[in-house]
Structure 1
Amino acid sequence: MAQTQHRPADTYSPLYFLASLGAGGIAVTFFMFLMFWVPHPGRPVPIFEDISAAFLTGGPAMQAAIGVAVLGIAYFATLNIRALIWNLSAFAAFRKSEAYAELRRSNAESTLLAMPLAMAMSVNALFIVGLVFVPQLWSIVEYLFRLAMVAFGLIAVLAFRQIGAFLGRVLSKGGVFDVTAHNSFAQLTPAFAVSMIAVGFAAPAAMATNLTTVAASLVLSTILGTVAILYTGFAAVTALGSMLQHGTAREAGPTLMIIVPIVTVLGIMFLRQDHGLHTTFAAHGNDGETLVFLSRLVAIQLAFLGLGAVVLRAQGYFADFVLGPKTSPGSYALVCPFVAFAVMLHFFTNKGLVAAEVVEKFGIGYWAVTGVAIAFQLVAIALVLRLNRQHFTARTPVVVPAE
């Protein structure tokens, strides 16, 4: 009798939205090449015309970098949208199952926030695709910013409805939330989702010229960013107590590093806000302050990368769930810290070290730090390709003989 083949992803979990999130994040890492290596005078970001001019007039190194960046953005943005569409379809079927009803009665209800998190990333990824591949896009960018804010607003409504349903259930009466199962940073997923929406709202502050658009961007991103920070602090402190008492939940071990992407997106939000305050409201900071600010963010990320690495190594997580035969949808949470740290190092190098004239752009020191960012990017790419192969490749179940 032929055996039925089964993909691990066929046993659906909302955490599979992280597959879309990770691919979108990698597209952002490739955009960093264009952002900081391609000249874009008079604009905060490079657009199609800047990239085309740099490719035609640049040397072999510049042309190679642009080629890699453009291909990387195209591939991983496509992967991002494909994974999002697959998740939305699979989630629609999952909602009709008893497994969904059980999830809504457990701590894992917070994993539903992976949906608005992935949606917000996809909006950001599509905006990058527009900048890179669509000629004359900048001529209508003010209208696009308003459309993007509407999209982020709708995603925010979805996110807060899900958060409200979860908190309303667990805080309205005792005994509903299982504190013993709170032994990870999985409950920071809502904070991550809100922070991703906040950084999207902050984009017009840095790039728009309309006063009303910039002001709305500043206010809305500040509100959402503040909520994300409050939620992160509360959820992290309560989870730490449970982890000290019960140890870290093995399959949720990667969430120990979720602080890393939260710090990156909120850090970019603050940088976008500062730029908007400077260009629109004449509020001036200085490069030294930015260097110190980014150094603090990198320090926080290093601390949590170290914490996650220590615990995951002690638990043998990589040997089982990444390199070994076991699968867990939570493994996709490993991609985000590598992506986020790579992006943060690009900002630290260019907006911090170079802007403050600590290192020379394209000098030895510059490439030493940028090389670390690229190394983290390569790890993220390897993780996505490996995890996609593990979770979305059909397998034939192994028959275990009866004793």
Structure 2
Amino acid sequence: MALSTSPAVTRWSPLYFLSSVGAGGLVVTFFMYLMFWVPHPDRPVPVFEDISAAFASGQPALQASIAIALLGVAWFAWRTFALLAFNLRRVGAFRASEAGRAHAASNAGTQMMALPLALAMAVNVAFIVGLVFVPGLWGVVELLFPFALAAFVLIGAMAFRQLGAFLGRALSSGGFDCAANNSFAQLLPAFTLAMVGVGLAAPGSMSGSATVAGISVILSGFFLVAAIVIGAVAMVLGVRSMMENGVSVEAAPTLLIVLPLVTVASILLLRQWHGLHVHFDGHSGPAETLVFLSRMVSLQVLFAMFGLLVLARVGYWQRFVFGAETSAGSYALVCPGVAFSVLLQFWINKGLVATGLIAKFGIAYWGLTAVALVAQAAMIVLVLRLNRQHFGQSSVAAVPAE
């Protein structure tokens, strides 16, 4: 997949796990076609049987949408696992190297949190692939939920172990460089914990067992709280350093990390609310969902405006995306666009349509959905560009990760 002279090989860093995370995010964007356009009245998510029935009886436009969704899910799922394997093969040697030990002892030590983030995303992608392509999976899905919960708990334990080692070193002996913390790079642990949480929340919204749903709600809630606390602290520290020292140019894409964090946390809460509604008589109506999602989308728009402004002012696009330099941190640009596209689909369908503000498949519906589709297409183009830069044979200048 990668040539020996590519930047991803010669200057590998843990941030390259974000290439797998970005591909997994694009799987989710294609699954949104099936989630909101394919009828699945008896299930919270569409499965192989729903998709097959819709394709057999649907109009040509729906059939084309389903075909595109299936191709997108299959292709980017393969890329998710291929890129995950590529990066996993390099972790051990990196950790044992002098550069790896220096990396772990610096502010950049939290970049290793991209590993459990990629693992959590891969489990989510595997579940989507099973729903879409495996006939009869829904008939045995209850047997799979305990294994899914166990997998996410193990990934979460790995994340906490890595974060604990970093914080333990910094708090016991110091050495954290606040001046060099002039970005939102330290929000990566919060994003990782939220990704684990959203995976843990899935059985809560899908299981027919109140016990499984209750365990799901409790565990996912723990990781959500942890993500919010860690994220809030990291954001305050980052803003203070940026106001004093200016933003780190190479780490500037992290200013957009709030977007995927908001999307993951929002889906986590929606899954919890659905499980509480089904099993524990905890009701939240379309109006509450509309207000909640509107606020979350507004938060994303505000941080997108902030991040894109800074990226333009520091010339990041010209240097690291379209220019002669490469940085593994460029893959942090993919998740925000993917996250905005996904949350916009939820806002449109679970908020605007559910409350009757717009008609499903009407002019307003497709006008708003077009925004989500444009964001998705832009991220596909960006991924292709970055993969060519980082995984193809290249002579461009690679810059060490922050």
Other structure's SS at 1:209 match: coil
Q: How far, CA to CA, are the matches of 1:335 and 1:108 in structure 2?
A: 20
Q: CA deviation at 1:144?
A: 1.2
Q: CA deviation at 1:173?
A: 2.7
The amino acid that maps onto 1:252 is A
**1:315 corresponds to 2:314:** yes
Q: How far, CA to CA, are the matches of 2:395 and 2:275 in structure 1?
A: 55
Number of equivalences: 394
The amino acid that maps onto 1:99 is A
Q: CA deviation at 1:395?
A: 2.7
Equivalent residue for 2:185?
Answer: 186
Equivalent residue for 2:342?
Answer: 343
Q: How does 1:123-138 map to 2 (within 5 A)?
A: 123-138=123-138
Q: How does 1:144-293 map to 2 (within 5 A)?
A: 144-174=144-174, 176-293=175-292
Q: CA deviation at 1:259?
A: 0.4
Equivalent residue for 1:328?
Answer: 327
Other structure's SS at 1:283 match: coil
Q: CA deviation at 1:282?
A: 1.3
Q: CA deviation at 1:284?
A: 1.0
Q: How far, CA to CA, are the matches of 1:307 and 1:397 in structure 2?
A: 29
Q: How far, CA to CA, are the matches of 1:53 and 1:396 in structure 2?
A: 50
Which runs of no fewer than 5 residues in structure 2 stay unpaired?
398-402
Other structure's SS at 1:231 match: helix
Equivalent residue for 1:66?
Answer: 66
Equivalent residue for 1:56?
Answer: 56
Q: Measured at CA, do residues 263 and 5 of structure 1 come closer, stay the same or move farther in structure 2, by a change above 3 Å?
A: closer
Equivalent residue for 1:78?
Answer: 78
The amino acid that maps onto 2:29 is T
Percent identity, please.
55
The amino acid that maps onto 1:152 is F
2:325 and 2:396 in contact (8 A); partners too = no
1:6 and 1:397 in contact (8 A); partners too = no
Q: CA deviation at 1:146?
A: 1.1
1:5 and 1:397 in contact (8 A); partners too = no
Other structure's SS at 1:184 match: coil
Q: How far, CA to CA, are the matches of 1:73 and 1:397 in structure 2?
A: 31
Deviations 1:344-383 (A, max 9, x none): 0000000000001000000011111110000110111111
Equivalent residue for 2:17?
Answer: 17
1:5 and 1:396 in contact (8 A); partners too = no
Q: What TM-score, normalized by structure 1, do the two folds share?
A: 0.96
Q: How far, CA to CA, are the matches of 2:164 and 2:394 in structure 1?
A: 39
1:201 and 1:220 in contact (8 A); partners too = yes
The amino acid that maps onto 1:197 is V
Deviations 1:151-187 (A, max 9, x none): 101101100000000000101133x100011000000
1:202 and 1:272 in contact (8 A); partners too = yes
The RMSD of aligned alpha carbons is 1.1
Q: Measured at CA, do residues 115 and 326 of structure 1 come closer, stay the same or move farther in structure 2, by a change above 3 Å?
A: same
The amino acid that maps onto 2:328 is P
The amino acid that maps onto 1:315 is V
Q: CA deviation at 1:5?
A: 6.6
Which runs of no fewer than 5 residues in structure 1 stay unpaired?
399-403
The amino acid that maps onto 1:110 is T
Equivalent residue for 1:401?
Answer: none
Equivalent residue for 1:366?
Answer: 365
